[in-house]
Amino acid sequence: MTTFTAPTIAWAQLAPVLIVLGAGVIGVAVEAFVPQRLRRVVQVVLTLTATAGSLLAVALLWGGVHKSGGTRLFDGAYILDGPALVLQGIVVVLALLALLVIADRSEIGEDAFAPSAAAVPGSDYEQLARRKGLVQTEVYPLVLFATGGMMIFPAAGDLLVMFVALEVLSLPLYLLSGLARRRRLLSQEAAMKYFLLGAFASAFFLFGAALLYGFAGSIKLADIAAATSTVRGMDSLLFGGLAMLLVGILFKVGAVPFHAWTPDVYQGAPTPITGFMAACTKASAVGVLLRVAYVVLPGLRWELRPVLWTIAILTMVVGTVIAIVQTDIKRMLAYSSIAHAGFILTGVVAWNERGISGVLFYLLAYGVATVGAFGVVSLVRETNDAGEILGEATHLSQWAGLGKRSPVLAGVFALFLLSFAGIPLTAGFTGKFAVFTAAVAGGATPLVIVGVLASAAAAFFYVRVIVLMFFTDSAGTAGERTTVVRSEGLTAVAIGVGAAATVLLGVLPTPVLTLVTQAAKFIP
């Protein structure tokens, strides 16, 4: 009989994740025990407090991690090093902003979610639920679980924890994607697609993990990294496993050719969830990619370089080119997010510390603008003949002349678009500069040349929206029926913070750059 020795666990190191996941569990209990009319308030307060608390915990942990370089918990299954902690901070900040948008209600008292997700679209029961004013408050714990998974994902030190985190973050997202209040069939279709493709990707990931275990005899990233230089004659296991693992991760990153889900899901999901997904999932998945690339792959970089270069170039080019022909603003932002994944990949394949810090900065810069941009989209609505406010006006033609009627909102949206386009003095430019510099220093100059050309082409479709908003008269176009809905103000806070961060990270990026530079060291 063997004796089991419980490992000593530094619980404090887990605080950011525990707070978020704990609040998620409490949120489930709230659904069961709190009367319905109070649930929304309780859930919103609980969720926002939890994310803010988690952010505080991240901040408190920073000093220790900065000094020691990081800690390995659970015998190396969970690694809290600089990049992991910074990524947790980025995820939780973006989740906090996204939650503000998620929690907001418009002037007619509607949030973005179906009153009763179980009701068949168009059925009497759905009508009844709507009339009764039901609210699907399970959204909040689901977001918290997803956030918790996203925070564990980049800190995972072995493939199993990584897989569990992947599932913890994915499953709530599949559900959330299907909860849109309007265009419910589209939303449910999106959720279905996301789930099926996501399940495939997870299967790839798991199979890759199995092959790598067969190769190295361990699921720990550090052991696999060590085995790449010592074990001979099992290349098919190694490269087969790595390829499958990367498929699973690149699916979440949204890189070509694993991007097919992105436009449909971004378009169909409730807009606040799209913002959450676009910003946070990308940050988390790129974080994992960074860890795999910098811990496991350095010894194999010459072998993998052609593959990763091809993926990066394809991602930039396909994302940009297809975005040019989009007519739906959410689809356009989806393809733009694919293109951004490509720009981020140029930093990943730089394989130097500048690459790590550049990618971390890019994720934050891209994230704040993304949450803000989708926040704006959630406020721009179409109206019917009677002037009643309907769903979101997502067709581009409906944005014509918006700048004349709502100059501030259109101006902020233009700022986000300019940041996506990488115009100087915005966060997007600083981010692009950071990853491109890293890539040139890392010998990936061809990628940078493709990157700048793609940026120039991408500017076209961002600018087109600005032209529509500011230089086009709405008279006689679909833009006449577009209005900006008033809300409780939470979205406005998120948009305002996003805009302020976009300008600050563009003009005075030094504090954040210093932080990510100090954090740019993985421990195996």
Partner 1 sequence: MQASSGFPWLTALIVLPILGAGALWALPAASRRLARPIALGVSLAVLVLGAAMALQFDTVTAGTHQFSELVSWIPAFGVTYAVGVDGVGLLMVLLSVVLVPIVVLAAWREQGEDVGRLRHYLALVLVLEAFMIAVFSARDVFLFYLLFEAMLIPVYFMIGGFGGAQRRYAAVKFLLYSLAGGLVMLAGVIALYVNGPGGEHGFLVDNLVGVHLPVSTERLIFLAFFLAFAIKAPMFPVHTWLPDAAQNAPAGTSVLLVGVLDKVGTFGMLTLCLPLFPHASRWAAPAIVVLAVVSVVYGALLAISQQDIMRLIAYTSVSHFGFIVLGIFAFSSVSIQGSSFYMFNHGLSTGGLFLLGGMLARRHGGSQRIADFGGLQKVTPVLAGLFLVVGLSVLALPGLSTFISEFMVLVGSYGREAPAAVVATIGVVLAALYILITYQRAFTGPVRSELAGAKDATRRERWVIGPLIAVMLVLGFYPAPALDLLREPARITIEQVGVRDTVPTVHAAAPAGAADTSAASEGGDQ
Provide the minimum distance between the beta carbon of 372 and partner 1 in the complex, in angstroms, as a whole number: 18
Contact characters 40-69, partner 1, x per CB under 8 A: ------------------------------
Single out the residue of 183, 470, 480, 521 in contact with partner 1 (rule: CB under 8 A). Answer: 470
Contact segment (CB under 8 A) with partner 1 among 148-156, 166-174, 258-266, 455-463 equals 455-463
Provide the minimum distance between the beta carbon of 412 and partner 1 in the complex, in angstroms, as a whole number: 14
Q: What are phi and psi of 160, to 5 degrees?
A: -70, -45
Q: Provide the token pair at 278.
A: 């676009």
Give, as one character, the DSSP assignment of residue 113: B
Q: Give the 3-state secondary structure of residue 422.
A: coil
Provide the minimum distance between the beta carbon of 66 and partner 1 in the complex, in angstroms, as a whole number: 16
> CA nearest 440: which of 516, 503, 352, 508?
352
Give, as one character, the DSSP assignment of residue 121: T
Residues from 495 through 514 that contact partner 1 (CB under 8 A)? 509-510, 513-514
Which residue's CB is nearer to partner 1, number 275 or number 451?
451
Give residue for tokens 């009643």. Answer: 388
Which residue's CB is nearer to partner 1, number 218 or number 472?
472
Q: Provide the token pair at 438.
A: 């890293």
Single out the residue of 38, 75, 471, 500 in contact with partner 1 (rule: CB under 8 A). Answer: 471
Q: Assess 290 for contact with partner 1 (CB under 8 A).
A: no
Which residue's CB is nearer to partner 1, number 20 or number 350?
350
Provide the minimum distance between the beta carbon of 453 and partner 1 in the complex, in angstroms, as a whole number: 7
Rounded Cα–Cα distance for residues 376 and 272 (Å): 10
Provide the minimum distance between the beta carbon of 518 and partner 1 in the complex, in angstroms, as a whole number: 10
> CA nearest 431: which of 334, 523, 355, 325?
355
Tell me the HSE value of 520 on the side-chain side, using a 13 A CA sphere. 20
Around Cβ 500, how many Cβ atoms within 10 Å? 12
Around Cβ 515, how many Cβ atoms within 10 Å? 19
Beta strands in 347-421 (DSSP E): 380-383, 389-392
Single out the residue of 52, 389, 463, 504 in contact with partner 1 (rule: CB under 8 A). Answer: 463
Which residue's CB is nearer to partner 1, number 397 or number 472?
472
Q: Assess 312 for contact with partner 1 (CB under 8 A).
A: no
Q: What are phi and psi of 484, to 5 degrees?
A: -105, 120
Which residue's CB is nearer to partner 1, number 180 or number 468?
468
Tell me the HSE value of 259 on the side-chain side, using a 13 A CA sphere. 28
Provide the minimum distance between the beta carbon of 229 and partner 1 in the complex, in angstroms, as a whole number: 29
Give residue for tokens 């990943």. Answer: 348
One-letter identity of residue 42: V
Q: Assess 467 for contact with partner 1 (CB under 8 A).
A: yes
Which residue's CB is nearer to partner 1, number 285 or number 505?
505
Contact characters 415-454, partner 1, x per CB under 8 A: ---x--xxxxx---xx--xx-xx--xx---x--xx--xx-
Q: Assess 478 for contact with partner 1 (CB under 8 A).
A: no
Residues from 6 through 45 that contact partner 1 (CB under 8 A)? none
Residues from 327 through 366 that contact partner 1 (CB under 8 A)? 357
One-letter identity of residue 175: L
Contact 504, 423 (CB under 8 A): no
Cis omega before residue 511 (within 30°)?
A: no
Per-residue buried b or exposed e for 148-162, using 16+ beta carbons within 10 Å of the residue's own CB: bbbbbbbbbbbbebb
One-letter identity of residue 98: A
Provide the minimum distance between the beta carbon of 466 and partner 1 in the complex, in angstroms, as a whole number: 8
Which residue's CB is nearer to partner 1, number 70 or number 422?
422
Which residue's CB is nearer to partner 1, number 184 or number 432?
432
Provide the minimum distance between the beta carbon of 454 and partner 1 in the complex, in angstroms, as a whole number: 9
Chain residues in the site for partner 1 (CB under 8 A): 357, 418, 421-425, 429-430, 433-434, 436-437, 440-441, 445, 448-449, 452-453, 455-456, 459-460, 463-464, 467, 470-472, 509-510, 513-514, 517
